[in-house]
Amino acid sequence: MKPAAGAIEQGEQLSRQLSSGQLSMIAIGGAIGTGLFLGSSLAVHTAGPGVILSYGIGAVITLIFMGALSEMAVAHPTAGSFGVYAEIYLNPWAGFTVRYTYWAAQCIAIGGEATAIAIYCQWWFPRTPKWIWVLAFAIALLYVNARSVGSFGSFEYWFAMVKVVALVLFIVLGAALLMGIGPAPAIGLSNLTSHGGFLATGWRGVWMAMVFVIFGYMGTEVVAVTAGEARDPETAVPRAMRNMVGRLIVFYLGAIVVLIAIVPWTRIQPGADVTASPFVKVFQLIGVPAAAHIVNFVVITAAASSMNCNLYLVSRMMFSLARGGYAPAVFGRVSARGTPVPALLVSAAGLGVAILVAFLYPDSAFVYLFGVSLFGGLYAWLIIFVTHLAFRPKWEAAGHARLPVRLIGYPYTSLLGTAALTAILATTWWVEGMRVTLIAGLPWLAILTAVYYFNRSVQPKCNPIS
């Protein structure tokens, strides 16, 4: 399917300035953040050393997911991304609900990142209230996103680079400690089995931890959203996806193995209340306070990077909704620099929610925000898999040229991804603190459905590809 000429003209108001390298780093920046640096505490608490298997399972799901998404992103490089694909290949209801659900969840996720930053900052300044840090970072990153997409790409590139370098150093230095390279004796791998065994909480714990682990991989879908502003999407998007997924798997598995091997998992996170990054706690527990301060700075940078990337995501999703006629037209406007500033400002609502939650529930704000935003991510991934099942046969039946990127094992791999995401979503009901995912998510989806059918007589104002 080709977009209408008018839609292309409208879509080109978004400036195509992002290179393949920037796309890769933006995607890594969107994924490596609170889900790894803070959420891994909850995963370790749930699965023990077996969390390594959880991250491996998550890597397989992510590989399948990116294969499916990259096919559609190359076919339709548009700002609305998977919301547009769902509208075209499933039905308008799917496109409407997935875009609004993803938008709302990412708005909350922005608040969760801001709350994580506040937790990190309180490690240095324990007497300061969380809402002050949330507000300060909100103002700074809204300013960055309101500038041109080129400025955003450059800023996020170096933000993400800090995280990548830090993770590589963490893995290298951790491996040195494990092997005894240096003055200290080798730690070895005994911590993987000495405290209740490798499967300390059983296979049930390994699966339950998937609720937290899969959140760490979320954000990779940003490549498809940025396709609408890529210089050469047919080449840049698949290259960025391949590079990003490979690096992400190496970073995640390497970091988690080092994390669990250096310090007994029982000392990393004693309970469900998150008070600091486990990566900071590792250096505290092995008696390297200076390194702990450096790592705390890195995880602040990581959270700010993810927060910055999510602001980009939600503004483009709202822009797509407006261009499709599902949101006020003002949110489909762009500035002279090609940035959808009105969509950005309304999408900052999640920061307001974060400030309120951080003020009312200072001890549990992160877990609440984590659980709510998780529903949107899982729902979006699930709809993407279902959309891909419909996309491939319709694309080929229309006589289009063979795509340069194709998911291996179709349709079985897409069916596997659909089943895995459905199972993880259902599992949230039995994971400590995560019932809020379904308690908040299902009523939200019901409300969206009611709104959609109540207003179904209102037709989109233009082709959804914009």
- DSSP H stretches of helix in 192-231: 202-208, 210-217, 222-226
- Residue 314 and residue 30 in contact, taking contact as beta carbons nearer than 8 Å: no
pLDDT of the residue at 90:
95
Tokens 């659980």 label which residue? 371
Tokens 């989806």 label which residue? 445
pLDDT of the residue at 54:
96
The 3-class secondary structure across 108-128, one letter per residue, is HHHHHHHHHHHHHHHHHCCCC
One digit per residue, pLDDT tens: the chain, 466 residues? 433 333 333 443 555 556 666 666 776 766 776 667 767 888 988 999 999 999 999 999 999 998 899 889 888 877 668 888 999 999 999 999 999 998 888 888 777 778 778 888 888 888 888 778 888 888 888 887 777 666 666 777 777 788 788 888 888 888 888 888 877 777 888 989 988 999 999 999 999 999 999 988 887 787 776 666 666 667 777 777 777 777 888 888 998 998 888 888 888 754 444 455 677 766 666 666 677 788 788 878 877 877 877 787 788 888 878 887 888 888 888 877 777 888 888 887 766 776 677 667 766 666 777 788 899 999 999 999 999 999 999 998 888 878 878 889 999 999 999 999 999 999 999 998 889 899 999 999 999 999 998 877 555 444 555 4
Q: Which helix (H) or strand (E) holds 382?
A: helix 365-397
Among residues 285, 219, 286, 215, the alpha carbon closest in space to that of 38 is found at 215
pLDDT of the residue at 8:
32
Helices 39-47/210-217 angle, 10° precision: 150
Q: Alpha-carbon distance 395 to 387, whole Å?
A: 12
- Residue 279 and residue 259 in contact, taking contact as beta carbons nearer than 8 Å: yes
| AA letter at 410 | Y
| AA letter at 102 | Y
Q: How far apart are the first and last CA of the chain?
A: 13
Please calculate the CA angle 288-294-298 and round it to the nearest 5 degrees. 135
pTM: 0.83
Per the prediction, the chain carries an average pLDDT of: 80
- Residue 265 and residue 200 in contact, taking contact as beta carbons nearer than 8 Å: yes
Q: CA 48 → CA 218, 273, 307, 430, distances in Å? A: 22, 16, 28, 17
